[in-house]
Every structure is written in C-alpha cells, then in structure tokens.
Amino acid sequence: MRLRMFILAAPAFLVLLAAHSTSGQTTTGTVRRARQATAPYTAEYSITTVQTLANGTTITRESTTKIAVDSRGRKMTSTTTRLSSGEQNSRTFVNVFDPVARTNTNWNSPGRNQVTVTSVPEPEDRERACANSGGHLRAPAPRPEPVTDDLGTATIQGIEAEGKRITRTIPAGADGNDAPLVVIGESWRAIGPNLDHMLVREIIDDPRHGKTTNELTSFVQGDPDPSLFEPPQGYETVNEGLPEIMCSSD
C-alpha cells in the first residue's frame, strides 16, 4: 500500500534545478544542492546534439545555457532551445533557486506569462514525514553500477579541469531494448578554488538519442546582473507551496 501526503514542515534548504538539454529536450535537469563555498560567477555553454538515423540521416539540435551564481547563493539556470530555424523560433526555460527564500522559481519565454514558485522540503523532512505516517520514502529504481575511468587533467577555456569517463550499460528489456545499450559520458569539472567542480565540458554518447556535447564558451567571475534572477515584467506569479511527497509502506 502506498501513502500520499503533504509535508507541513520547513521547505528545502539549498536545492536547485540544473539546466541541461539533450535531444532537444530540457533536462535541466538535475536537482542538486547549492554549495555556499562557490564564488559568484556567470558561465555560458553551447550544447549540440547530433542524432544519426538508421538510414544515415543526421539530425542536429542546438541550444545554449547560461548559469549565474551570486554572492547570496542564488543560482539561475537559463536554457534556450531552437525549435526550428531562426532565432524567433526559440524557447527559453529559466530556473532560479534562492537559498534564503528556499524556493525554486521557474518560467518560460515565450510561454504562458506565468511564474511558478515551489518550495522543496529537505530530505530529512521527507524521511520524517513518511516515518510519522508509518511508511518510508519510495526508493528509486535500481540501476546497474557504471564503470568510471580517470581521464586526468586538462585546461579548458583557461580553467584547469579533471575528467572522468562513465560507462553505463542498460540491460536488455529495461527500456524496451532487445539487447544491452551502452551509454558513455565524459565529464570535465573545474578543480580551481571556489569553483566547486563547475562543469566545463560534457560529452554524452547515448544510442537512443545521439551524441550531445556541452561546452563552456564564456566564464566571468564576480556578481552577475541582478536582473537575471527576476522574471519578465507582467508575468503572473503562482505559488505552488510544498510538493507532494510519495511514501510507501512496502
């Protein structure tokens, strides 16, 4: 039996949604904890996905990402994806995590002219709430252990970085595949002071979606423009409060 509930405890502390785009989809996705030791900066990335079809035809998708971190710990991630040829046919997804307000703020442009503000509880609050209800947090689906190789160090855009190659095998039947699939990811992260393992290059070769390259193109240290953290004028704000927590009694 599964239990549904809403946590009434304090919202999350230092949680953010990272921006990343693969195969024309926004996977900005990754929720991570913000790190207070990171110095303020603004970074821009160029993302290219090349997918080769069975008949040899290639499909290329391009997007750009901007990440800005200020001295208050706020983190803005903005990903612009070109929907078709021409700048007028692009769409931008923006996420701002504020560690003081403990909120994630999201909006699209162009979109519905709406800003969504969501609070996220800390893992400790999630576990406590499920325990109080007699259940426990639903465990994520098990994944095969990846193989990690050290690639050493390199200088990328003037930033010293260390690289790792991660090879993950998706077993037959896990994703509708009749044979194992091998996904190879190469990640280079900064090792300099106060950069807190900032991503400078990432290459993901996934047979399901193609090869995606995420490359740092611009990096400036110092507090970014405060307007980057504010939604466009005239957007309606919708407060969604705390998210629903899925608990299980299994």
Number of domains in the chain: 1
Strand partners, 214: 47, 202
Kindly state the tokens that stand for 73. 């710990």
What is the CATH classification number for the domain harbouring 159? 2.50.20.10
Evaluate whether 244 touches 4 at the Cβ level (below 8 Å).
yes
> What confidence tens digit (pLDDT) does each residue in 47-91 have?
999 999 989 999 999 999 999 999 999 999 999 998 665 556 789
66 in helix, strand or coil? strand
Residue recorded with tokens 């008949």: 55
pLDDT computed for residue 245 by the predictor: 61
Q: Which residue has better confidence, 250 or 6?
A: 250
Tokens representing residue 100 in the block: 């003081």
Is 207:167 a contact under the CB 8 Å cutoff? no
13 versus 131: the higher-pLDDT residue is 131
Considering only 49-63, 73-87, 108-122, 174-188, which range has the smallest mean pLDDT?
Answer: 73-87
- Distance CA(65)–CA(117), nearest Å, equals 21
pLDDT at residue 144, as a whole number: 75
Higher per-residue pLDDT: 77 or 244: 77
Per the DSSP assignment, residues forming a β-bridge with 166 are 148, 185
Q: What is the pLDDT of residue 130?
A: 67
- Token pair, residue 26, equals 């926004």
pLDDT at 13: 24
DSSP 73-136: --EEEEEEEESSSSGGGEEEEEEEEETTTTEEEEEEESSSSEEEEE--B-HHHHHHHHHHTT-E
List the single range of 171-180, 223-232, 238-247 with lowest mean pLDDT.
Answer: 238-247
Average pLDDT over all residues of the chain: 79
What burial class does residue 65 get, using C-beta atoms within 10 Å of its C-beta: 0-12 exposed, 13-18 middle, 19+ buried?
buried
CA dist., res. 65 & res. 42, Å (int)? 11
Inter-residue contact 69 to 75 (CB < 8 Å)? yes
Measured at the CA of 200, the angle between CA 14 and CA 159, to 5 degrees, comes to 110
Residue pair 167/184 in contact (Cβ under 8 Å)? The answer is yes
List CB contacts of 88: < 8 A, sequence separation 6 or more. none
Q: Which of 130-144, 167-181, 202-216 has the lowest mean pLDDT?
A: 130-144
More confident residue, 14 or 250: 250
pLDDT at 248: 63
| Domain, as residue range, for 163 | 2-248
Residue range 149-177: average pLDDT? 93
30-57 mean pLDDT: 78
Q: How far is CA 221 from CA 71, 151, 194, 218, in A?
A: 11, 26, 10, 10
